Amino acid sequence: MKIGIIGLGLMGGSIAMKLHETHEVFGFDINQSTIDYAIKHKMIDGGSTCVDHFFSDLEVVYLCLYPTQIVPFIQNNQSFIRPNTVVIDIAGIKLPLQKKVLPILREDIDFVLTHPIAGREKIGIQHAKSSIFHNANYIITPTSLNKESSLEIVESLAKSMGFKTITRVDAFTHDDIIAYTSQLTHAISLALVHSEEDSINVSSFIGDSYRDLTRIAMINEPLWSELFIENKEALLSKISAFQESLSLLKSTIESSDSNVLQDYMTYVKNKRLKIEKG
Amino acid sequence: MKIGIIGLGLMGGSIAMKLHETHEVFGFDINQSTIDYAIKHKMIDGGSTCVDHFFSDLEVVYLCLYPTQIVPFIQNNQSFIRPNTVVIDIAGIKLPLQKKVLPILREDIDFVLTHPIAGREKIGIQHAKSSIFHNANYIITPTSLNKESSLEIVESLAKSMGFKTITRVDAFTHDDIIAYTSQLTHAISLALVHSEEDSINVSSFIGDSYRDLTRIAMINEPLWSELFIENKEALLSKISAFQESLSLLKSTIESSDSNVLQDYMTYVKNKRLKIEKG
């Protein structure tokens, strides 16, 4: 297949890198130096800073843009897209995007909303790494307009990228669960580092627990502020639920009741072990 | 050197495994099957379920027990310890222990309080792994009674185990910082899993961020409830500071002010990157 990748950042670069093993891949980015880098590192067959180049020829297009860039991109560039092209987005929120894109979309383009749950706490094509998709989860939120054949193409490409579990779910459910598993975890990590007293140097006192909980605090600010704000309602509700759970734990510690504290831990441990098993 | 390890759990087993490469190591555990396992896997030269065996011969003894077991162990067994033996504890809290042990300790025993900041979310000798110490942090909280020569023995053994940074600090400071880097992170991880709605199955929606933040929720309940309660005052203060940071983030998200949100993220990111560099 001839596949286009719009936006050669960490995610676009990683997708290009992997799909280029078995497909013809063309990259589009606002920076010529990024395209040069992608060609030099054999991630793409060709590329351009303007989308009319190569574009009319593509069968599948991945939009690897920040959520707020997707609507303007569609508005300005869909006239260049070949009829029946499958256009796939990979943003971390789905319902607001679906509501904005569908009304402006050309009828002969099949826009498939997806979320590859993979990433790194790095920015830019030089950190692209196709192994981030290995055994990861991939979510598709089909709309009533999607053709089954397009969804199957998306699933087959996800499988070839290395994703293990591919799930179809409605956009509302996606945004609700992702607010918990992804946006809440980032919010917690940020607040944990934020609360550190400046007067102490913790470097010599950290172990894997601190490292693991704060890795994602090295965040891509523009991307994540979009994700937080676009999914605000669900995220605020998950933060509130977390605050209640933490308050309960705090008062249990305050009471020094070892049995009640161990019960809380056992409840959590069993819950977490269940998820581990899938 | 002839080294004794009291308690062949995950930590005692890992220490035995590593020190056995260059020293004579004897293990003590309440379960004969654990000693058999350690001998079979060449972690120790010999072992016993009662401490009088081999004990009079040891130069260094590691106490790899739960914090609350240390005082009873000293009371019941210090009569078997050879004069001038260096006894090392490895518990995650230091000041309460120091206050309890020093008044009851035989004068000719040098008790060195330490904290190897390493571990796994597993329990028992079968999960022992000497690589957990590689490049990790090690804290020693010397008392006025410790001989410099004993502290140097402890440091030299820590280096040979693979620890990278060995820091001497007073017990109060240790407990205060560890409440933040270790106990708070565990409390947060527990509350995060606790707050998950039972009605949703998150397994297909998780990525590395969720996995990293919840790994330590698979906790050793008796050990961590002791650590939480023994260091209650410092931990509660760190939880409060975290709650304030999270509330601030929450109201920033509520306001949908992308600039203020990005400023919060940038502040945190720079703070975290500084720690990464050491």
| Contact yes or no for B117 and A207 at CB 8 A | yes
Claim to verify: residue A119 and residue A186 sit in the same structural domain: no
Same domain, B74 and B207: no
Query: Above 80 in pLDDT, residue A190?
Result: yes
| pLDDT for B216 | 94
Among the candidates B169, B202, B234, a domain finishes at B169
Find the range with the poorest average confidence among A62-66, A262-266, B122-126, B134-138.
B122-126
Predicted pLDDT of residue B121:
81
Per-residue confidence (pLDDT) for residue B201, from 0 to 100: 81
Taking residues A51-73, what's their average pLDDT?
Answer: 90
Tokens at B234, concatenated: 């410092």
* Residue B179 and residue B131 in one domain: no
Question: pLDDT by residue (tens digit) across B77-115?
Answer: 999 999 999 999 999 999 999 999 999 999 999 999 999
- For residues A55 and B27, which has the higher predicted lDDT (pLDDT)? B27
**Do residue B30 and residue B145 come from a single domain?**
yes
- Are the beta carbons of A205 and B137 separated by less than 8 Å? yes
Model confidence at A121, pLDDT cuts 50, 70, 90, reads: confident
Nearest CA in chain B to A241: B195
What is the full per-residue pLDDT of chain B (278 aa) written as tens digits?
Answer: 999 999 999 999 999 999 999 999 999 999 999 999 999 999 999 999 988 767 788 999 999 999 999 999 999 999 999 999 999 999 999 999 999 999 999 999 999 999 999 988 888 999 999 999 999 999 999 999 999 999 999 999 999 999 999 999 999 999 999 999 999 999 999 999 999 998 778 999 999 999 999 999 999 999 999 999 999 999 999 999 999 999 999 999 999 999 999 999 999 999 999 887 65
Residues of B in contact with A14 (CB under 8 A): none
Mutate to test the interface with A, among B203, B230, B233, B247 (most CBs of A within 10 A): B203
Query: Residue A167: which of B43, B198, B203 has the closest Cα?
Result: B203
Domain-ending residue, one of A148, A169, A190: A169
Report how many domains make up chain A: 2
- Which of A136, A239, A253 has the CB atom closest to B228's CB atom? A253
DSSP secondary-structure letter at B117? E
The gap from C-alpha A193 to its chain's centroid, in whole angstroms, comes to 22
Chain A environment of B253 (Cβ under 8 Å): 187, 228-229, 232, 235-236, 239
CATH of residue A113: 3.40.50.720
Question: Are residues B141 and B190 both part of a single domain?
Answer: no
User: What is the pLDDT averaged over residues A242-259?
Assistant: 98
Which residues of chain B have a CB within 8 Å of the CB of A235?
A: 253
Cβ–Cβ of A209/B256 closer than 8 Å?
no
Whether residue B204 and residue A248 make contact (CB cut-off 8 A), yes or no, is no
Asked if B179 and B42 sit in the same domain, the reply is no
B27 shares a domain with B147: yes
Domain hosting A217: range is: 174-277
**B238, two tokens:** 């760190």
Interface test with A, best of B90, B123, B135, B210 (most A CBs within 10 A): B210
Contact between A192 and B245 using a beta-carbon 8 Å cutoff:
yes
Q: Are residues A164 and A184 in the same domain?
A: no
Q: How far is A159 from chain B (nearest CA, A)?
A: 15
User: What pLDDT score was predicted for residue B57?
Assistant: 87
Q: What is the pLDDT confidence band of residue A52, given thresholds at 50, 70 and 90?
A: confident
Query: CATH code at B241?
Result: 1.10.3660.10
Torsion angle of the four alpha carbons B225, B230, B232, B235, in this order, in degrees rounded to the nearest 10: -80
Q: What is the CA radius of gyration of chain A?
A: 21
What is the CB neighbour count within 10 angstroms for residue A151? 18
Q: Are residues B57 and B130 in the same domain?
A: yes
> Which positions ≥6 away from A118 have C-beta within 8 Å?
A14, A132, A133, A136, A163, B207, B208
Which chain B residues are closer than 8 Å to A68 by Cβ? none
> How close does chain A come to B200, measured CA to CA in Å?
8
Going by C-alpha positions, the residue among A274, A95, A88, A91 that lies closest to residue A173 is A95
Cα of B198 to nearest chain A Cα, Å? 9
Determine contact, residues A245/B194, Cβ cutoff 8 Å. Answer: yes
* Residue B71 and residue B41 share a domain: yes
- Given 3-state DSSP classes, what are the helix, strand and coil percentages for chain A, each rounded to the nearest 5? 55, 15, 30
Best of B120, B165, B194, B259 to mutate (most A CBs within 10 Å, chain A): B194
Disruptive mutation site among B193, B244, B266 for chain A (greatest number of A CBs within 10 Å): B193
- Measured between beta carbons, the chain B residues lying within 8 angstroms of A118 are 207-208
Q: Are residues B162 and B231 in the same domain?
A: no
Residue B72 sits in the same domain as residue B132: yes
Q: pLDDT band at A277, cuts 50/70/90? A: low
Residue range A4-26, pLDDT digits in tens: 999 999 999 999 999 999 999 99
pLDDT band at A226 (very low <50, low <70, confident <90, very high): very high
Question: CB neighbours of A204 closer than 8 A, spacing ≥ 6?
Answer: B137, B139, B165, B167
Query: Is the per-residue pLDDT at A278 higher than 60?
Result: no
* Last-in-domain residue among B169, B193, B212: B169
